[in-house]
Structure 1
């Protein structure tokens, strides 16, 4: 792997830091194609839709290209598996999430034949839908396009 663009590492960094905290990392972000966002929900579909909408709006994926949408979807699911600790349910289990997310697209391998990859990272809270009863959670998904 190239040490220049580790898309998973960049996605985690962007998801965990507030916008004001990213200034020292601007050299790392130069030339990196990414987007960021926030979502709070008791519904898994709303979380998925928020990431898909942001990635499409910021031209990280092309809306009508199946392979790009498919790659993003699987990266989102992999990242959500980390947040939900393998139990793909939020509201059904009386849990809610408040997450920041980042999507990064790039070529993490020095051999260009490996193609483009996409990484999705979530950082935030998950827990009972009662303020103050949630705890931190994080997830990362990386998939080839």
Structure 2
């Protein structure tokens, strides 16, 4: 198994524009990842968007509880980062516009450490008023 810095890669994938990402596409052929976008005042929609993307792209197996569970915790940890420790969006009258990525890999040289999953968010958060938002980033990593 090859060691992969899944957190760093997830942050890059979430923050790079499509044009910037094209420069790295050949190097990403060996990596299991997916990307997506979501904008909402509803945290459940953010969670659902990431889960749906990970399942559709084969990063987790829907029938394996441990994989869904690991993804869920990585999503929540990432949300805590982008919301500054208070995992609430609409309840606090704020909205998000995010790009996200999910990366699955082996961040340790020792094969016994197994696979891990990283979820990164990059985008904006703020009052639901155009121009009142600011940048935010969040990262969550969990073992599968």
Question: TM-score w.r.t. structure 1 length?
Answer: 0.95
2:16 match = 17
C-alpha separation in 1, matches of 2:81 and 2:2:
24
RMSD: 1.4
1:49 match = 48
C-alpha separation in 1, matches of 2:90 and 2:105:
33
C-alpha separation in 1, matches of 2:88 and 2:101:
21
C-alpha separation in 1, matches of 2:3 and 2:115:
14
- Give the deviation of 1:64 after TM superposition: 1.1
1:127 match = 126
1:76 match = 75
C-alpha separation in 2, matches of 1:3 and 1:103:
18
Instruction: Check the 8 A contact 2:122/2:138 in 1, yes or no.
Output: yes
1:33 match = 32
- Give the deviation of 1:28 after TM superposition: 4.0
Pairwise mapping of residues 75-114 of structure 1 onto structure 2 (< 5 A)? Answer: 75-114=74-113
1:136 aligns with 2:135: yes
4+ long deviations beyond 3 Å: none
Q: Which moved more, 1:28-37 or 1:68-77?
A: 28-37
1:94-145 CA-to-partner distances (Å, cap 9, x unmatched) read 0000000000001111111100000000000000000100000000000000
Which consecutive unaligned segments of at least 5 residues does structure 1 have?
none
C-alpha separation in 1, matches of 2:107 and 2:133:
34
Instruction: Check the 8 A contact 2:2/2:106 in 1, yes or no.
Output: no
C-alpha separation in 1, matches of 2:27 and 2:71:
22
